Structure 1
Amino acid sequence: MDIVIGLLKKVLKKRENLRVLISGASPESLDFLSVYLIAPPKISLEANTYPVDLHYVNISPGNYVDTALDVVLSSTKPLATGGIIVFMPSRDIGRFQDQLRESLRLAEVSMNVDALFSVSELLRLESSVLDFEHPAHVIVTSLPAELVARRLAVTVVIDTGFEEVKYSRYGFATVTKVEPVSQEVANIRTRIAGLSKAGRCYRLYPQNSFENLEKTRLPEIGRLALDHCILQLKSLGVDNILHFDYPHPPPSHMLAEAIDRLASLGVIDNEAHLTRPFGENVAQLPLEPSHAILLVSSLQYGCFEQIASLVALSLTKGDYFDHEKWLPFIAQEGDALTWLNIYESFLRMGRDKSWCRKYGFNETQLSRSVNIRDQLLRILQHRRIKIAKTELATSTAIRKCIASTYRRNLAFRLPDGSYQTMSGSLIMKIHPSSVLHVQKSIDWVVFQETTERNGQFFIKNITVVEKEWVD
C-alpha cells in the first residue's frame, strides 16, 4: 500500500486536476493520507454504522481465554440471530474452541462455533454466515479486524486486546509475535459490532490500558521484508529506491538487506537492475518474492509442475496438520513433499468430497489450490514465460529448488534436537505442525516461516536438504 500511495503522490504532482477517491478502514489512516498527499483531497468518512455499547472488563493478566468464554456464554441467550466474534491469538484458539463447545453442550445451547486462521477460511465461511437471518454463531479468529469487517454478520465483539504481528527475520522467513493491539485496531474491532445493527463490544482490559496503547501499529513497510516493494518499484521503472517518497520511510538497513537478498538470488545485478530474463520474470508475477523466485527457479530445476502446485497450496493450506489421520501421505523429506502427496492424491481421487472427509482434509481449500494453480499457469502464459511439463520430477530436484530459494534459511541439528540457523546462529525448534516434529535424525533443513512463543522460536514449512546444495 505504501508503494501505491507513494506513486499516487508522484502522479498528483503532475496532474493537479486529478480527483482522488480514497476509502479506508479507519479515520486514523485517512487523516494521515490527508496530510501526506500534496493538495490533499477532501476526505469524508461515511460510517453508516449503528450504535455500539462499549464495555471494559477488568481481568487478571493473561486470563482473557476464560473471561472471553464467560462473556460468550452470557451473550448467547439474548442473541437469536447474527453472531459473536472473538479476536484472540491463534495459539489460544484451540483451547477456547474446545471449552466453548463443551460449555454450550452442557448448557444445551445450539450454536455453531467456527475458528478462522486464514483468509481462505474466511471466504468459505462468509457465504454461509453473511445472511443476517442465519442462526446465532460464534467466530473466533486471529485475522486482522479490517479483513473481517463487512464480511461477517456479527453484533457482539470480544476484544482480548492482543493481535498477531508479523516481522521479517532470517531471510525470507517471518516471525509471528503476539503483541497488544493499537488504539486504531481496537476501534476497528469495536466498529464491526455496529455494521449490521446496534451491537456490543467487550474489551477484556481496563480503560486506562486502552489509553496507554500505541495510537497506530507499525506499518508493514517498517517490519516486513522489502523485497516485494523493491521488485514493484523496479518493474515500474523507479530506479532510485533509496530516495523514493515513501509515506512511511523504511529503515535504510532493511532496504540494504532486501537488495542483498535479491542480488544473491540472481534477481537483480550489481547495479541493482533486474536481471534478464530471470529477474524480470520474477517481478512480473503477482506473488510474494519467495514464491515468485521459487516458481521461476523451478524451470531450471525441471520441477515446474510440482512447484506450481506447492505455491498454490502455500496460499491456501493453513497451519493445521493431523499427524495420525494423514500418516499415509507423510514424506520423510518434509512438509512440502507431504503436501504435494496430499494434493496429487486429491486430484487422482477426482476431488472426491467423501475422500476428503475420510482423512479430514478441507475440500474447499484443496479446490482453491487447484484454481489458483490454474490461474498461475494462465498468468505465466500471458506474460510469455515459457513453462515445461515435468511429470517425472524427482523429490531431489524439488528439494534442491526449495533449498536454492530459501538458502538463507538453512539450519542444522544440535545434539538436543533443536536447530541452529547458519545466518544469525539462532536456536529454534521444529513446530508441532511440521511432519518433521517427531523426526530425530535430520541434519540439515531449510524453513519458510518462524513463529515465537514465550521467547522460544519455532520453524515451520520445513524441507530436508543436503548442505552441499546450498554451498
Structure 2
Amino acid sequence: MSTSLQFWKPGTLGPGSSLDRISGEEGGLLASAIPLQAQSIQAQRDRLPIAKHKDNLVYCVENHQVVIVVGQTGCGKTTQIPQYLHETGWSTGGRVIACTQPRRVAVTSVAARTAYEMGSVAGEEVGYTIRFEDVSTKELTRICYMTDGVLFREALLDPLLSRFSVIMVDEAHERSVYTDLLLAILKKVCRKRPSLRIIVSSATLDATAFLEFFSSLPDPIDSIIVSLEGRAYPVQMAYLEEPTEDYVRKAVETVISIHGQHGKGDILVFLTGREEIDRCLEELVDGISSLPEKRLKLRPMALHSGLTMAEQMEVFEPSPSDSRKVVVATNIAEVRMYDGSVGLSSLKVVPISQASAIQRAGRAGRTSEGLCYRLYTFSDYNELPSVTMPEITRTELSSAILQLKALGIDNFMKLQWLTIPPSESIAQSLSSLIIHSVIDNDGRLTSLGTKVAEIPLDVKAACVLLDSQKFRCGEEILTIIAMTAIQDVFIIPAGAAGATAELERRKFTAEEGDHLTLLNAYNAFVGHGQSSSWCKSHALSFRALSRAVSIRSQLKKYMKRFDVQIESCQGDAKRLRQCLVNGYKQNGARWIADGTYRSIRGNTVLHVHPNSTLFTRKPSSGWVIFHDIEETKKIQMSIITEVEPEWLLTQENEPHAS
C-alpha cells in the first residue's frame, strides 16, 4: 500500500540532468551527484529556485533569531543556504555553520556536493560528522553537515553549542526523535545566546507548528517564516482500479509496461525493504529477457543503505543514450514502533502518509512533466493518515532520556516539546534505565550513566561494553558490539548462489548463536589481512567488515578514556554470554514446544529470523537473548545467542570461574 512508481519523461534524467533525491531506509534522503555540465557551477547555482531569495534569506537571518524556511525538495535550500551564510560572513573568526540531517547518507552526499560547488573536497572548508565518522577539521571546516543525533550529543560536551554561529535543522518535517530533542534544546540555548541563529527547514507547508513552538509563551523567540518557490512540473497520477495482492509483481509489470509504451525517461520504484528490492530486480531481469529487442535497453539498479557509497552514487549518473534506468529504492515506510505494554521496540512496515505520498510523487516533476503510478486504489489513498506520526510518539526513549538527564534536564514533562511523548513510554524508559543502573531509584544519573550517555550506542550495548571488564572479555565484546552496529555482514543471494554462500557462512557458525558467529567472522577477516578478495570468496561484505574495524577502533577509545580494562576471555564463550546477558537481560525469550519463543517481558510470541544460526535448531537450554526484533507478518528476533535461564533471573549477573 505504500508502494509507488515514478516515470520521468524525456530529458529529465538523461545527460546533463540528475535524479535529485531519493528517500532511503537508513540512507534517507540521498542528494544527487550532479554531473559536470557545460555551464559553470555558479550558473547551476543561479538556476536553482532558491537563488532569487538569497538576499531576503540573509536579511531574515540577520534580523530574526529563528527563520523557518519552507520549500519543496530540490529548491536548493540544503546546499545553498549554508553557502549564502558563509559568503556573508557568518563563518568568520573560527565560527561554524552547522546543517543537520535526519539520516547519515544525506549528510555525506550533501557535504560532497556543497564542497564540490565551493571548489574543494569534503573534509576541508566543508566537512561532515556522522556516528563513528568525523570528516572535518577545527582549523579548516566552516560549514559542517551532521546528523541531528550527532549535534545533540555535542551538546553534552558544550551545552551552549558555542562554536556554531548558525544551526540549520534540515528536513524538520520528518520529525525524527533527535530532531524534536534538538529543537527543544535549541530553544533553551537561544535564550542564553541571543547571537545564535536557528534555521528550521521543512519541505511541507506545516510551518506554523514550528513558528508557534518558538514564539509561544513564556519567553517567545523572534521568529519568521520564509516560503520559497519550488521547481515543479505537472505530474499525472494513476491509481489501481482494484487492490493487488502482490505489489512487487505489480511494480514489475508496470515497469515493463512503461518501457514498452514510452520513449526516453527513467523510472523510480519505491519498495519497503531490501528483500523486496532483490526480488523485484530478479523478476525485472527475467521479464527483460522475454521482451522483444528494443532500441532502449532497460537497466535495473538497486538503491538502499546496504550498498557502498560508490554503488549508491552510480544511480545518479546520466543514462547512456541507448538505455533507460529503473531504480528500485527503499523508502521510509519501515519505521521503528515501541509497544510500552510489553517493553519491546520493533521495525514495522506501515502505510505512508498522504503528505509523504504527495512529496514522493513530486519527484517525477522536478525538471519536466512526469507520471506517478500509485500501486494502490484512490480510496486507499484517501484512507492514509494525512501526516506521519512524529517518531517521538512511537519509539523507545531510553537513550534520549538518559542524554537529557546528562544535560541536567530531569523534568521531561516541563520541557517544551513540539509533541509531548506518551507518559507510558517515558515511564517504561525510566524503568529500563534503573534496571541497567544508569540512573538510581530517585532518577538521578549514576557514574555509569554519565559514561553511557557519552558513548554513541544504545543503552544496552553501552552497558555491555563497560561491563566487559568485570567478565574479563573486553577484546571480544568490543568486536561483538562493533559487529552488531553494522548490517548485512553475510551476503546470501537467492538461488543456487545462495546455497553456496550459506555453506561459506557455516564455516563461521558458533553453536552458541549469532553473537559469537559474528565474532568468528570478524576474527577471520582480520586474520586474513582484511582482504576484499577473501571476503568475496567467503560470501562476506568487505564494506561492512571494514566499517566494523573502524567502529571497533573508536569504541576502544571510549573504553580507554573511561579506564575500562580490556582483556581477552581466551575463548571462554560462557563469560562472553554472561556479559551479553547483563546488558540484554530484558531481551530474553524462552523456547516453546511449537517452535516459537515467548519474550520475558509481555510474553509476546516471537519467531527466529531466517538469517539466524538458531533458525533450524532449538537451544539446549531453551533460553536465548536477542539483539533486535522486526515485524512483518510476524515478530522475528535477530542476532540471537543461547543463554542459561539462571543468568536471566539474576538481577546482577556475576562471572563464574571457568
Provide the TM-score with structure 2 as the length reference.
0.63
Mapped contact 1:334–1:435 kept (Cα < 8 A): yes
Q: Note the alpha carbon deviations across 1:215-244, whole angstroms, 9 max, x for none.
A: 212211111111011111011111222322
Aligned residue pairs total 448
Structure 1 165/439 Cα, relative in aligned 2: closer, same or farther at 3 Å?
same
TM-aligned CA distance change 1:114 to 1:288, over 3 Å: farther
Q: 1:82 to 1:295 in 2, by over 3 A?
A: farther
For 2:636 and 2:531, the matched residues in 1 are separated by 34
Alignment of 1:191-230 (within 5 A): 191-194=362-365, 199-230=370-401
Paired position in structure 1 for 2:312 = 126
Contact preservation (8 Å) 1:22, 1:43: no
Q: How far apart are the structure 1 equivalents of 2:605 and 2:623?
A: 14
Corresponding position of 2:270: 86
> Where does 1:51-450 land on structure 2 (aligned, <5 Å)?
51=233, 53-58=235-240, 59-76=242-259, 84-90=268-274, 92-107=276-291, 111-116=298-303, 119-121=305-307, 123-133=309-319, 136-144=324-332, 163-169=333-339, 173-194=344-365, 199-276=370-447, 278-318=448-488, 322=492, 323-381=502-560, 383-390=561-568, 392=570, 394-442=572-620, 443-450=622-629
Give a deviation string over 1:378-422, Cα, whole Å, max 9, x none. 4555x5453424262522222112111111121111112111122
- Counterpart of 1:149 in structure 2 is none
Q: State whether residues 52 and 198 of structure 1, in contact with CA within 8 Å, keep that contact through their aligned partners in structure 2.
A: yes
Q: Distance in 2 between matches of 1:19 and 1:228?
A: 27
Deviations 1:332-389 (A, max 9, x none): 11111111111111111112222222122221121122122223234555x5453424
Q: Distance in 1 between matches of 2:377 and 2:596?
A: 40
Shift in CA distance, 122/185, structure 1 to aligned 2, threshold 3 Å = farther
Q: Which has the larger radius of gyration?
A: 2
- Given that residues 321 and 433 in structure 1 are in contact (C-alpha distance below 8 angstroms), is that contact kept between their aligned partners in structure 2? no
Deviation at 1:92, TM superposition (A): 3.5
Could you tell me how far 1:186 is from its partner in structure 2? Answer: 1.4
The alignment partner of 1:356 has SS state of helix
Unaligned runs of 5+ in 2: 1-178, 216-220, 493-501, 650-658
- Is 1:43 the counterpart of 2:228? The answer is no
Q: For structure 1, which runs of at least 5 residues remain unmatched after alignment?
A: 145-162
Q: Distance in 2 between matches of 1:196 and 1:460?
A: 42
In structure 2, do the counterparts of structure 1 residues 115 and 359 end up closer, same or farther at CA, with 3 Å as the change threshold? Answer: farther
- Helix, strand or coil at the partner of 1:44: strand
Does structure 2 conserve the Cα–Cα contact (< 8 Å) formed by 1:112 and 1:136? yes
Show CA shifts across 1:180-233 (max 9, x none). 111122133223344566544322123343233212122111111110111110
Stretch of structure 1 that moved more, 387-396 or 236-245: 387-396
- 332-341 or 6-15, which deviates more: 6-15
CA contact (8 A) 1:19 1:41 kept: no
The letter for the 2-side match of 1:192 is: R
One-letter identity of the residue aligned with 2:578: K
Percent identity over the alignment is 29
The structure-2 alpha-carbon separation of the partners of 1:255 and 1:331, relative to structure 1 and needing over 3 Å to count, comes to: same
Output the CA distance in 2 between the equivalents of 1:196 and 1:365: 36
1:293 counterpart letter in structure 2: C
Secondary structure of 1:167's partner?
strand
CA-CA distance at 1:62 after TM superposition: 2.9
Are 1:281 and 1:385, in contact at CA under 8 Å, matched by a contact in 2? no
CA distance change for structure 1 residues 5 and 131 in 2, over 3 Å: closer, same or farther? same
Q: State how far apart, in whole Å, the 1-side matches of 2:485 and 2:301 are.
A: 20
- Give the distance between the partners of 1:299 and 1:137, measured in 2 at CA: 52
Q: Distance in 1 between matches of 2:212 and 2:604?
A: 41
The amino acid across from 1:129 in the alignment is: V
Which deviates more, 130-139 or 308-317? 130-139
| Local SS of the residue matching 2:287 | helix
Task: Kindly indicate whether residue 220 of structure 2 is the aligned counterpart of residue 32 of structure 1.
Answer: no
Question: Aligned pair in 2 of structure 1 residues 129, 195: CA closer, same or farther (>3 Å)?
Answer: same
Instruction: State whether residues 303 and 393 of structure 1, in contact with CA within 8 Å, keep that contact through their aligned partners in structure 2.
Output: no
In structure 2, what is the Cα distance between the partners aligned to 1:315 and 1:99? 31
Q: Find the aligned partners of 1:341 and 1:110 in 2 and give their Cα distance.
A: 43
1:115 is displaced (CA, Å) by 4.1
Q: Which residue of 2 aligns with 1:21?
A: 199
CA deviation after TM superposition for structure 1 residue 120, in Å: 4.4
| 1:370/1:30 CA distance change after superposition, 3 Å | farther
Q: Which moved more, 1:188-197 or 1:291-300?
A: 188-197
- Between stretches 433-442 and 278-287, larger displacement belongs to 433-442
Secondary structure, counterpart of 1:229 in structure 2? helix
CA shift in 2, pair 1:334/1:218, >3 Å: same
SS of the equivalent of 2:224 reads: coil
Structure 1 residue 7 displacement after superposition: 1.1
Query: How far, CA to CA, are the matches of 2:472 and 2:365 in structure 1?
Result: 53
2:611, 2:562 → 1: CA distance?
Answer: 38
Counterpart CA distance in 2 for 1:251 and 1:385 is 37
CA distance in 2, matches of 1:112, 1:294: 46
Quote the Cα distance in structure 2 between the aligned partners of 1:249 and 1:186. 26
Separation (CA, whole Å) in 2 of partners of 1:387 and 1:80: 62
